[in-house]
Structure 1
Amino acid sequence: MSTLFKQITKELDFKTIFQYGQRDGADWQKEAIAKLISQTGFKTSADSLLPASGGQNAIVAILAGLFQHGDRIGVDPLTYPGIKTAAKMLGIQLIPIKQENGEISEEGLLYACKNENIKGIYIIPDYQNPTTHIMSEDGRKMIAHIASKYNLIVIEDAIHGLLNEIHLNPVANYIPNQTIYITSLSKILAPSLRLAYIATPKKYREALSSALYNINLSQSYFLTEIAYRMIASGEADKLIEARRKSARKRNEIVNQYLSEYNILGNNECIFRWLILPDDIMAEKLELQALKEGVQVYASERFAVGKENLFLQ
């Protein structure tokens, strides 16, 4: 990393480094990102990519750019809290969809399309946050099929995709003309590298570009150049593998201490989901753990709709 910083400061004029970046990002930088994303099995191109200031920033821009106040979006009954807060801020309603075997069911999605009038669906196929579930291939195909039939916008949050060594097909492969695909570098490379990229079909590009411009103006040229050089030099691949190794070591400890409990997530997942015994309340455990210096989150933070507020 230090070598990359030295190269940047030597090769680039400081005026360039600290100026605004290009509105939609530089093509040579995005070509490197497209190559990195291809490791997940999703083929995209530089002209389909738009930079954002992290995954949460990308989600807000997508909701603001493609949806309106009062629109409805289908989600897992337990989902990433960031989309809950973003949707609330923008007046968008999240609709929990019935699951089967830990993932959105065909019956539930059809019901939401016919009776809830959803305009889109938000999914995290790899290491779903918080349940750690990896969506089945059949589940991905089913979502693509129904989304095509009912003209849904699919928001595929793939921020953990590169951490999974065994890659299933992204939903975007099955329905590329209706899927907005998000990848984030902060989760896979470094938290302070607040960069995400949105792969978008051409028909959504202008609306998303405008939303990102209104929210961010542009991305940091310095950060985008660092990301580009990390990928081009192979440093990014090393960091991704280091993240996997670190996750495995941490999860060995988790598995050792919580072996008597039902805990979900494989050894490469950077978080785990603990199913508590019936006599332990999640909220109380969260508070008690915090007193002991350990931060955990109860299911209430992730639940969508009061009827789905089952604490684990």
Structure 2
Amino acid sequence: MTLWHPDPALIRRPAYLSLADQFARAIHDGRLANGERLPTHRRLADELGLSVQTVSRAYEELIRRGLVSGEIGRGSFVQTQRHEPDPPYLPERPGEVIDLSILKPVCESMHLELMRAALGWLGETLPAASALSFRPNMVFPRHKAVAVEWLKLCGLETTAQNVSVTNGATAAMTVALMSVAPPGSTVATEAIGHHTLVPLARYLGFNLEGLPIDDNGILPDALDEACRHSDIRAVFVQPSVINPTATLMGSVRRSELAEVARRHDIAIIENDVLGPLVEKRAPPLAHFAPERTLYVTSFSKITVPGLRIGYLAAPDRYVAAVANRHLVTNWMATPIMAEIASKWVADGTALELVRWQREALHHRLDIAAEVLAGVGYRAQRDGMHLWLELPGDRSEEGFVAQARLQGVAIAPGTSFRIAETPWKPAIRISLGSTTEAELRAGLGVVTKLLLGDPEHLLLAI
């Protein structure tokens, strides 16, 4: 039984959340160690002068945060060593929650109508190979040729032989990492980066090293230093706005990173899922280091979420490794989705949807600028989200919880934390996951929480 106990004098309304926050701080500060058993609900309620229901709700909140585990017949225990990381978004959207946590494009009825029309077209024209063949080389030659034309719009010159059609960006990322980073090696990436990299590193057996970043992305000197002292095999980067901090890396920085990678002979994995959505950007890193860059792009963020098809363009030295690892993890992309993607690229629908998405995001960024007037945040004109650092007196967990209590879900910044360095609490806010009215209302809640008095807001809930 732990010697630490919550202080009843510090409990504010709502009491269960205030109590949960006390436990969370004690766990984070090391005053409660992993595996320690917490007092029973009734005992703690008696000690603090609270109802058993209030204590139960506090423990449930700690379980939701992944800080405590409850075992029937044994009690509640501190759980600081998580088996699985929490996603940076709501697994579901219960009730009337305004979900600004998950990153997705703006969608209207026309997107559903286009998908329905495409599936109807497919019902009439589906090639036999796409329905009947088990052999990727029988299904995808035509799709790869179309992919080459799309990749030109992304700023990349390649050949069909260097392209793999994948089931979206996540599949492409996994294959790329497996191709260049054997178990026991190290992959460098942004200190605030892609939220799936941490579990992927654990599952695939490589180490992950988060490197310092500035307003232009990874610092080249930091990558150079890491390569000198670690077994770095690759660097994973998101240079064009999709990264959590909404950074758009400039041409000079891209060239500098390419030179460091070349000097140490490491691979570059470039995640560019927004592709041509971002107009005013430098050429891809693959342009500066074509001989070592594995380039990833996809359609679900920029056209329709259900179009889960991506392209992985690899240099000659990695083509065989990519093909083999794609076979053993996916065998091949879903032919039906590949048919729709190829049709839309060829007939111009995909590019029209990208242009529509850009205009829709511009309008939503204008809404954000209006509602968040007086609040500092980072965003890019063609981006899909905001990165908002919290004032020094605000707890990230507490802020996210308070927003959730007021019906708004936002992504905590720690979901994207790679490096164990000093942390500035922050949140990521998606612009496209709701209606414009919901976005305006959700941003209004965030603004009130930021500009209001924390103690007053706690009492008002």
* Smaller-chain TM-score bracket: over 0.9
Matched, 1:90 2:204: yes
Answer whether contact 2:180 2:234 (CA < 8 A) is retained: no
Q: Could you tell me how far 1:42 is from its partner in structure 2?
A: 1.3
The SS at the match of 1:262 is coil
Distance in 2 (CA, whole Å) between partners of 1:71 and 1:280 is 37
Query: Could you tell me how far apart the structure 2 residues matched to 1:283 and 1:145 are?
Result: 39
Q: Cα offset for 1:189?
A: 1.3
Cα drift, residue 3 of structure 1:
4.0
1:138, distance to aligned residue in structure 2 (A): 0.8
CA gap 1:20/1:190 in 2 versus in 1, 3 angstroms: farther
User: How large is the Cα RMSD of the aligned pairs?
Assistant: 1.8
Amino acid across the alignment from 2:154: T
- 1:160-207 Cα shifts (integer Å, max 9, x gaps): 232111231111011111000001111111111111110001111111
Q: How far apart are residue 100 of structure 1 and its match?
A: 3.7
Q: Tell me if structure 2 keeps the 8 A contact 1:98–1:104.
A: yes
User: Which deviates further from its counterpart, 177-186 or 105-114?
Assistant: 105-114
Identify the residue that residue 264 of structure 1 maps to in structure 2: 378
Secondary structure of 2:296 counterpart: strand
* d(CA) in 2 for partners of 1:291, 1:34: 47
CA distance in 2, matches of 1:274, 1:136: 21
Equivalence for 2:365: 251
Aligned pair in 2 of structure 1 residues 143, 194: CA closer, same or farther (>3 Å)? Answer: same
The residue aligned with 1:124 is: 238
Aligned to 2:106: none
Residue 136 (structure 1) aligned with residue 250 (structure 2): yes
1:23 paired to 2:143: no
Contact 2:216 2:253 in 1 (8 A): no
Could you say what secondary structure the match of 1:119 adopts?
A: strand
| 1:279 corresponds to | 393
Matched to 1:23, the amino acid is P
Aligned twin of 1:155: 269
Q: What 5-or-longer segments of structure 1 have no aligned partner?
A: none
Match of 1:219 among 324, 333, 337: 333
Say whether the 8 Å CA contact 2:247–2:380 is kept in structure 1.
no
Tell me, what secondary structure is at the counterpart of 1:197?
A: strand
Deviations 1:45-102 (A, max 9, x none): 2111001111111111122232211110111110010122211211211111123444
Secondary structure in 1 matching 2:411: coil
Q: Quick check: 1:42 aligned with 2:156?
A: yes
CA separation in 2, counterparts of 1:122 and 1:30? Answer: 24
Structure showing greater radius of gyration is 2
Q: Distance between the aligned counterparts of 1:22 and 1:241, measured in 2? A: 35
1:228 corresponds in structure 2 to: 342
Q: How many residues align?
A: 311
Task: Select the residue among 291, 294, 301 that pairs with 1:177.
Answer: 291
* Residue pair 1:261, 1:276 contacting (<8 A) in 2 also: no
2:192 to 61, 74, 78: 78
Partner residue, 2:416: 302
- Deviation for aligned residue 1:128: 4.1
Contact 2:154 2:276 in 1 (8 A): yes
> Post-superposition, which runs of at least 4 consecutive aligned residues in structure 1 deviate over 4 A?
none
Q: Tell me whether 142-151 or 278-287 shows the greater mean CA deviation.
A: 278-287
Counterpart-to-counterpart distance in 1, 2:157 and 2:333: 23
Report how far residue 11 of structure 1 moved.
2.2
Alpha-carbon distance change, 286 to 168 in structure 1, aligned in 2, over 3 angstroms:
same
1:133-171 CA distance string (max 9 Å, x none): 000111100011111110010001111232111231111
Amino acid paired to 1:84: V
Residue 145 (1) aligns with residue 259 (2): yes
Letter in 2 for 1:245: E
Moved more, 268-277 or 95-104: 95-104
Aligned to 1:12: 126
Partner of residue 315, structure 2: 201
Partner Cα distance (2:408, 2:159) in 1:
42
Question: For 1:134, what is the secondary structure of its paired residue?
Answer: coil
Q: Partners in 1 of 2:264 and 2:146 — Cα distance?
A: 34
More relative contact order, 1 or 2 (CA 8 Å, 6+ apart)? 1
Paired with 1:253 and 1:10, the residues of 2 have a C-alpha distance of: 42
Between 1:279-288 and 1:45-54, the stretch displaced more is 279-288
- Taking structure 1 as the reference length, the TM-score comes to 0.94
The change in CA–CA distance for 1:293 and 1:18 in structure 2 (over 3 A counts) is: farther
1:167 to 1:286, Cα distance in 2 relative to 1, 3 A: same
User: Aligned AA for 2:320?
Assistant: E
